[in-house]
Amino acid sequence: MAAHRRLILGAALALAAAPAKAQAVKIRLGTATPGGGFPVYGAAFVEGVRRVDPTLEIEAVNTKGSTENVPLLEAGKLDIALVQGEVVHESLSGIGRPPADLKVLTAMYPTAGMFVVRADSPYRTIADLKGQPIAWGAQGSGLVILGRYAMDGLGFDPARDFVPVYLERAGDGPAMVLDGRVAALWGGGTGWPGFATVAKSEKGARFIAPDADGIRRILAKHPFLKPVTQPAGSFPGQAEPIPSVGSWSFVLTRPDLDDAVAWRLAKALHELERLGPPPQLAETTAQNTVAAAPAGRLHPGVARYFKEAGIVR
């Protein structure tokens, strides 16, 4: 009888010690219009998290981009969303709108804003592009806002000093450069599809960014922007690094995303980081998130995971 009781007790203790199976959670992730960098990143994010924690069922949703993702998060229609750094700055600071009560799940990557032109074009500086048709991106894209800040720092107005073209889909821009409907396409980000398409074409690509004095002027007027350099080899034929300005983009969460869900997402991303993430997530690291996130904006569940994992004290 005593042996039987010990067997039952041992089984109970083993059951208590066994890890509980994680509950499946469905998460809606807002990206942007097809053909841009956000859907590519979003697909890699979904697949990467699935590798580590299949119970986190993430559905990527195409949206109009950063400027739509913020109100969708506020309304609870998305759980997490990709948001360009300039839109993060304006939304959290309450520029042109009430301050948004959104939290940071993770840093994505820094974006160095620049133009791409055909390699056979006569344009070599931003001043050369004055008066020309420029594809600034999709209306809801944060890249459009980055372009506005960068041009303002240089003393240009995108609406008056250029012929602005706004896209229905981010993926429409490269063809417009290649067939001459626009002189240049504005964009940014390592591996950004718009730049890659032009660079891989028979025409080839040349990139145009602010010069050193222009960077200084932009940063003096808009200090929330940062110097960002596009590493050499980011695109076919790009042999040299390209200094420019930009900011970090983030995955933001709705205000009431459950702490346990944010904790699980942070844990999954950190484990993916250690296993070897896909190229699109190479800069989506815990350390980059701690360094780049606006003060006090880390989601509490993420902050708790970082503390437990020893990333922060």
The arithmetic mean of pLDDT across residues 3-8, rounded, is: 43
Q: What is the model's pLDDT at position 21?
A: 60
Best CA proximity match to 186, nearest among 215, 210, 220, 153 = 210
According to CATH, the superfamily of the domain at 24-110+249-308 is: Periplasmic binding protein-like II (3.40.190.10)
> Is the pLDDT assigned to residue 313 strictly greater than 80?
yes
- Write the pLDDT tens digit of every residue in 146-172: 999 999 999 999 999 999 999 988 889
| Domain spans, the chain | 24-110+249-308, 111-246
Domains 24-110+249-308 and 111-246 share a fold: yes
Going by pLDDT thresholds of 50, 70 and 90, the confidence category of residue 15 is very low
Best CA proximity match to 102, nearest among 123, 121, 80, 86 = 80
Going by pLDDT thresholds of 50, 70 and 90, the confidence category of residue 107 is very high
Element holding 80 (H helix, E strand): strand 80-83
Best CA proximity match to 293, nearest among 274, 267, 312, 308 = 312
> Is the pLDDT assigned to residue 11 strictly greater than 50?
no
> Is the pLDDT assigned to residue 14 strictly greater than 70?
no
List the CATH code of the domain at 111-246: 3.40.190.10
Half-sphere exposure of 97 (CA within 13 A, CB side): 13
Best CA proximity match to 273, nearest among 26, 51, 24, 82 = 51
Percent with pLDDT over 70 in the chain: 93
Q: What is the model's pLDDT at position 139?
A: 81
Alpha-carbon gap, residue 154 to 124, rounded angstroms: 16
- Write the pLDDT tens digit of every residue in 34-67: 988 999 999 999 999 999 999 999 999 999 999 9
**Alpha-carbon separation of residue 188 from 121, 176, 260 (angstroms):** 20, 17, 34
Alpha-carbon gap, residue 123 to 290, rounded angstroms: 39
Alpha-carbon gap, residue 56 to 44, rounded angstroms: 14
pTM: 0.83
